[in-house]
Chains A and B, each alone.
Chain A
């Protein structure tokens, strides 16, 4: 096997004798990216783990003492802190609720766009607007809609709710903002899945007398499942990392702290590097668990790309 591939390589390389040998060229072309990724992504994570094992705060004299209990004290502090529990809880609620709504709205939008014979191009452009609007801008626009006296929402509904100042209303506003921004993205992923379902299947089902509902549940949904799953896992990954919306809308107050905001507050605002890094590493672990299911799922796709 090994010998065979080497021999095959040798014959092609004899034909293409000029320049650097193919395999070496390949390594040279891949190397800069790999080195950069190692420097900017892998090394910081390792450093974060190192920091998380130390009492590393500007407030503590002797800056880098090994945190007790095998250096795991920061982790036990984080895992026992009610603030961190609250952040974990808000993150999970946010993730489940927003991703569910995004899926339902995204699916509905995708189906409508798929059916729309006219104006599909216009719709696709329109749908990209929320996706292209910056998250910070998204936060600003929803804040100006909900906050009295600027916003119209209380004026129209006659409510006196202090949306961003109360729990759980603040989290609800954040969820609404996120659903607005990312449902269209979900719709586009699902639409791509819809467009590869061959129309003949529907024709055949029609001939066999299947109702619209049956065609949807027996053909569309099952064939759409792979696209939906990818979109779901991908959105879940993103939702677990949520930071911008709570930071801009409430600074993580009023029941909106998340895994990312609490960690950032701990190391950047309070300068407790060790504990903050431990919280960042915990977030990393939570995200990576979901990430591996994602990678596993699109693994076949990467294998396709990696084929010679």
Chain B
């Protein structure tokens, strides 16, 4: 699950890597290099290909264990989009993940700015606490909230998920944002301050726009963490009213009780993976920078 990891003394300095390669004739790529590249690609992509393959099969084809669907069909996809449990779960997941991300970024960016730039006692302690919270096992939150949420009536609601999601989302975004704010040259802020801006104005008008890449990174990683979360989603919901997609998939049952509907489960799995794979394709650099500069898990 998502929380904070750090490679010590590494800075998110990707441009450096690019600059290091002047236009010298590159050594010829040896054959074993191609093999290892192929192995990595196969290792990473084959299981997902298999899932797509399964999702395109129906009926007896499902049992053929063939690597290419003999009669490819989109029937499973049609079926899951007609299944209200799935469409409601998609809506729940979208709301919970987006609100969690917005709250974590909104609240977290203030905290991160103060920690990165302003005079404040106990910064080290605060960052230590933030990092510690990010390593909390979800089970230790889930157990008490399972009872507490029922007692106060927010069991099986969006807010009942969003609040505990902040336990990992907030530390994650604070941690990433502090390291990004630190990277912004002080001169620009200083200039704004000399021109008579308040610290808060300097933060809002100068730092936030400059830290947009950092905000995007923190936002993507937080969103992925919330989208992926399972333990709390399974424990703190009981129906499609608030159940998110990961939890819904775990409870999918077939038309008959003994038949596990692998076709539709696979189709649903492909559908919810698509937004994340798109994020990865579009923001690969940001995600890697965030992962290594100050964050996630997963």
B-contacting residues of A (Cβ < 8 Å)? 9, 15-16, 18-20, 22-23, 25-27, 29-30, 32-34, 36-37, 39-42, 44-45, 47-48, 51, 56, 108-109, 112-113, 115-119, 121, 123-138, 140-145, 148-152, 155, 180-185, 188-189, 191-193, 195-196, 199, 226-227, 230-231, 234, 237-238, 240-241, 243-244, 247-248, 259-260, 263-264, 267-268, 273, 276-277, 279-281, 283-284, 287-288, 291, 294-295, 297-303, 305-306, 308
Q: With a CB–CB cut-off of 8 A, which chain B residues contact A141?
A: 47-48, 50-51, 266, 269
Partner of B291, one of A189, A248, A287, A300: A189
Interface string of B132-175 (1 = CB under 8 A from A): 11011111111111111000000000000001101100110010
* Complex contact A125–B26 (CB within 8 A): no
The answer to whether residues A145 and B50 also contact, given A44-B145, A136-B269, A234-B5 and a CB cut-off of 8 A, is yes
**Does B7 touch A at the CB level, under 8 Å?**
yes
User: A73 → chain B, closest Cβ, in Å?
Assistant: 17
> Can you show 30 pairs from A to B with CB atoms below 8 A apart?
A18-B198, A22-B118, A23-B119, A26-B114, A32-B107, A33-B174, A34-B111, A37-B133, A40-B167, A119-B37, A124-B284, A126-B41, A138-B47, A142-B47, A148-B65, A150-B262, A155-B65, A183-B43, A243-B139, A267-B143, A283-B139, A284-B137, A284-B139, A288-B135, A291-B132, A291-B135, A297-B8, A301-B9, A305-B179, A306-B126
Q: Is the CB of A132 within 8 A of B114?
A: no
Q: Across the interface, which residues of B come within 8 angstroms of A30, CB to CB?
A: 110-111, 114-115, 120, 126
Are the C-beta atoms of A260 and B291 separated by less than 8 Å?
A: no
Check if B255 is an interface residue, CB within 8 A of chain A. Answer: no
Given the known inter-chain contacts A25-B200, A124-B284, A305-B178, please indicate yes or no for A16 contacting B124, CB distance below 8 A: no
Are A150 and B284 in touch, CB under 8 angstroms?
A: no
Chain A, Cβ-Cβ closest to B175? A305
Would A18 and B197 count as touching, CB distance under 8 A?
Answer: yes
Inter-chain contact B65/A151, CB cutoff 8 Å: yes
Residues of A close to B102: CB separation below 8 A:
none
Considering only CB atoms, which chain B residue lies closest to A13 in the complex? Answer: B119
Determine the chain B residues whose CB is within 8 A of the CB of A306 once the complex forms. Answer: 115, 123-124, 126-127
Give the interface size bracket for B toward A. Answer: 35 or more
